[in-house]
């Protein structure tokens, strides 16, 4: 198994390498020599919960590579939307860090080693080679279809098509922006299919590992059951919508979508979302209906709108200092949760 596959385990070639090695995950997780891969998989997920990385790679490429499919199984077994989201985010962000380090190494060595990632390799693996072309000086043009799909996951007005000089069905981007788009493609691939259906023998073999991750989730108060959701840490825009519902005021369609997609993306079940607005029966029923139709516990459904979209709908209200440094209401909530965790840890 190549070092490149271990560093970029989401690549098609890495998956094929695992298949070629005829690794049986059910057997592996039960064998003593599989313990290192399971431990590293737990570390991957645990690191994803604490930040934007999946941690340092294991010194053995085989262990590192095998830990990736096991980590995907683990997040599937824990099956918390916030964990799935953070995990995909951390895998993509780590891949980007490694990719940028590889690019710097190549620039220094003026060579393209087989163990380093390049933009061309990534584009080929994601079937984007025909959709992206270099125009020199770190400038690229991306076919509008893939651009819209990938940039749709990114925050910021600069990604809107209206701000780009679209020509001949292509959108101009700088190299750093192309890396943003590739990071989005990686996130999409990592999240694809999660949560996976997991056969019983594998689930049984990983029960201890799952327990470790669940404890870690509980410690960080990121568990997404109703008790762990902290409305007082919600961003001002969402708190304002909740207050409106609480006061018995009706909210318009964009507001209902923003509120319910925010709540369900925290993993809240439709009934729990309705309970959160208890006291406003009409609003509660409306929220229950909306949430049930946006997604469910297995599939959180649509992502809540970004801050830019909230501004466009007139829903961005009562901005505070933290709002100045976030581009998404979910990021605001994540930061407030992290701050609350840090404050709790410091007081202990
Ligand atoms: S800046 Fe973002 S998080 Fe803050 S109130 Fe506006 S939409 Fe909400």
CA dist 220 → 42, 103, 265 (Å): 15, 35, 17
The pLDDT, as a whole number, for residue 309 is 87
The pLDDT, as a whole number, for residue 326 is 82
Average pLDDT, the chain: 81
Q: Where are the domains of the chain?
A: 3-96+195-218, 118-190, 224-347
Q: Please name the residue whose Cα sits nearest to atom 8 of ligand 1.
A: 237
Measured between alpha carbons, how far is 131 from 143 in angstroms, rounded to an integer? 5
Gap from CA of 20 to ligand 1 centroid (Å): 48
CA dist 258 → 149, 237, 248, 265 (Å): 21, 9, 17, 10
Q: Which of 314, 326, 337 to mutate to test the pocket of ligand 1 (most atoms within 8 A of CB)?
A: 326
The pLDDT, as a whole number, for residue 25 is 77
The pLDDT, as a whole number, for residue 341 is 63
Question: Is the CB–ligand 1 distance for residue 262 below 6 Å?
Answer: no
| 296, 297, 303, 307 alpha-carbon torsion, rounded to 10° | 110
Q: Which residues contact 228 (CB under 8 A, 6 or more apart)?
A: 218, 221, 222
Gap from CA of 299 to ligand 1 centroid (Å): 25
Question: Is the CB–ligand 1 distance for residue 329 below 6 Å?
Answer: yes
Question: Is the CB–ligand 1 distance for residue 316 below 6 Å?
Answer: yes
The pLDDT, as a whole number, for residue 92 is 94
The pLDDT, as a whole number, for residue 34 is 84
The pLDDT, as a whole number, for residue 302 is 55
Question: Is the CB–ligand 1 distance for residue 255 below 6 Å?
Answer: no
Tokens coding 157: 């007005």
Which phi and psi angles does 296 have, rounded to 5°?
Answer: -140, -170
Tokens coding 98: 């490694």
pLDDT digits (tens, 9 = 90+) for 178-230: 999 999 999 999 998 888 999 898 899 899 999 999 888 777 654 444 345 77
Q: How many CB atoms lie within 10 A of CB 225?
A: 14
In the chain, which stretches have pLDDT less than 70?
1, 21-22, 32-33, 105-115, 155, 220-228, 269-303, 341-348
């Amino acid at each position: 198994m190549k070092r490149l596959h271990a560093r970029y385990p989401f690549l098609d070639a890495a998956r094929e390498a695992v298949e070629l090695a005829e690794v049986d995950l059910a057997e592996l997780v039960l064998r003593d020599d599989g313990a290192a891969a399971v431990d590293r998989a737990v570390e991957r997920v645990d690191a994803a919960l604490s930040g934007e990385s999946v941690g340092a790679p294991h010194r053995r490429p085989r262990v590192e590579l095998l830990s990736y499919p096991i980590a995907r199984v683990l997040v599937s077994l824990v099956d918390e939307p916030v964990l799935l989201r953070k995990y995909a985010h951390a895998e993509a962000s780590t891949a980007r860090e490694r990719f940028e380090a590889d690019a710097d190494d190549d620039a220094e060595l003026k060579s393209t080693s087989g163990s380093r990632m390049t933009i061309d390799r990534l584009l080929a693996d994601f079937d984007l080679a025909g959709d992206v072309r270099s125009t020199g000086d770190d400038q690229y043009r991306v076919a509008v279809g893939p651009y819209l799909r990938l940039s749709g996951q990114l925050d910021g007005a600069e990604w809107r098509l209206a701000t780009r000089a679209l020509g001949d069905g292509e959108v101009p981007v700088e190299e750093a922006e192309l890396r943003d788009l590739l990071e989005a493609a990686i996130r999409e691939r990592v999240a694809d299919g999660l949560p996976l259906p997991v056969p019983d023998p594998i689930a049984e073999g990983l029960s201890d590992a799952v327990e470790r991750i669940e404890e870690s989730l509980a410690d960080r108060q990121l568990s997404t059951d109703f008790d762990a959701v902290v409305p007082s840490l919600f961003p001002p825009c969402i708190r304002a919508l909740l207050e409106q519902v609480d006061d018995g005021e009706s909210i318009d369609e964009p507001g209902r979508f923003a509120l319910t997609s925010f709540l369900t993306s925290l993993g809240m079940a439709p009934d729990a979302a309705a309970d959160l607005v208890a006291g406003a029966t009409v609003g509660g029923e409306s929220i229950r209906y909306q949430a049930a139709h946006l997604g469910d516990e297995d599939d959180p459904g649509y992502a809540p709108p970004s801050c830019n979209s909230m501004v466009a709908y007139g829903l961005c209200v009562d901005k505070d200092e933290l709002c100045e440094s976030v581009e998404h209401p979910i990021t605001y909530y994540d930061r407030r949760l992290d701050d609350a965790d840090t404050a709790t840890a410091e007081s202990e």
